[in-house]
Homo-oligomer: A and B are copies of this chain.
Amino acid sequence: MSQQEAVPAGFDGQSVLGEEDRALVEGVLAHALRPLAKAITLIESSRPDHQRRAEAVLQALLPHTGRALRLGISGVPGVGKSTFIEALGLYLVERGHRVAVLAVDPSSSVSGGSILGDKTRMERLSRDPRAFIRPSPSAGSLGGVAEKTRETMLVCEAAGFDVVIVETVGVGQSETAVANMTDMFVLLQLPNAGDDLQGIKKGIMELADLIVINKADADPAAAMRAKAQLETALHMLRPPHPDWRVPVLLVSALKGEGLDRFWETVLAFRDTMQKNGALAEKRRHQALAWMWERIDAELKRRFRQHPAVRTMLPAIERDVESGRLAPVVAARCLLDASQTISQ
């Protein structure tokens, strides 16, 4: 391990910005889209020098962040997420908002991006200058993807976007990551939920502040049944906040029906959570949790990359699995080894 200064440059905001990055910051603050895209590319880079530069840019932009409404949206494939987000985005830009759409895609590290990989999915919205759509980064772990999305969200806020939508697909752990970086988490459901309630099985429904039954026009009777079922299921779950009862709304994104009601509900949620102080508390908590998540991930990464640990790990794991080595003894061996000086 290398020796470093105890308090590196960049702490307390006195970031060392190069000429080029200073121009980037000014461009973002002037709401220009090219510098915004360049700043995000810098953030997404895994090169250590890029990461340092990205952190300085982020720190310089930080005073201009935090004013957007951060909306997480999830739902299983086929629920009509793209149609819903495009309809919502167009609805909002026509009312004077500037809308950024980001994605956390748990499958992107494998498939190279299955959601938002193709901008043509939201063709009208992506052509609108008041909207900004950023596909999911195509590589990296879920944690890594989510983490870059968090920083991208801040940069979008500094670039004047007042609604940031973070989309994810309703499978796996990405929902928790998105719920942990947004103010409000919306779960899209299909009207033919039947008794196979998507979401509740995977613990996703507990994260929802609002549930939307999309494509409600296709079979209104089925949509009403699904609404009743979802309300019963919600009744059994702990609400996200004592001041908020999770509503179930019927929407047809394709026909633009129910968007008024949806947006009113989002604003009502924000107002409630602002008045009782829960939103500010949530964001403080999210910021600290994000810092610790980064630290824990890096501690684990360093540990696993330590030469002595890498050498010993395969045999130790084998012995623990086969019951020849007590887990606590194995942990001690590896921890002791990780404290040897590597070079």
Q: Complex Cα distance A15/B214, Å?
A: 62
Contact B201 A238 (CB under 8 A): yes
Number of A residues with CB within 8 Å of any CB on chain B: 76
Contacts of A123 in B (CB 8 A): none
Q: Which of B6, B55, B66, B316 contacts A308 (CB 8 A)?
A: B6
> Which stretch in A110-118, A266-274, A282-290 binds the other chain?
A282-290
CA distance A330 to B322 in the complex (A): 41
Tell me the A244-299 residues at the B interface (CB within 8 Å).
283-284, 287-288, 290-292, 294-296, 298-299
Q: Do residues A290 and B13 form an inter-chain contact, with CB atoms below 8 A?
A: no
Q: Which residues of B contact A296 (CB under 8 A)?
A: 296, 299-300
**Measured between alpha carbons, how far is A269 from B303 in the docked complex, in Å?**
38
Q: Give A contacts to B, CB under 8 Å.
A: 1-8, 10-13, 55, 58-59, 62-63, 65-66, 147, 150-151, 154, 195, 197, 200-203, 206, 233, 235-238, 283-284, 287-288, 290-292, 294-296, 298-300, 303, 308, 311-312, 316-317, 319-337, 339-341
Give the docked Cα–Cα distance between A79 and B206 (Å): 25
What 4 A-B pairs are tightest by C-beta distance, nearest first? A294-B331, A291-B327, A290-B327, A4-B336
Which secondary structure characterizes the binding site on chain A?
helix
A332 to B51, CA, bound (A): 10
User: In the complex, A298→B328 CA distance in Å?
Assistant: 11
Q: Do A4 and B59 have beta carbons less than 8 Å apart? A: no
Residue from A8, A10, A11 whose CB has the most chain B CB atoms within 10 Å:
A11
**Chain B residues whose C-beta falls within 8 Å of the C-beta of A335 in the assembled complex:** 295, 298-299
| B contact residues around A294 at 8 Å (CB) | 327-328, 331-332
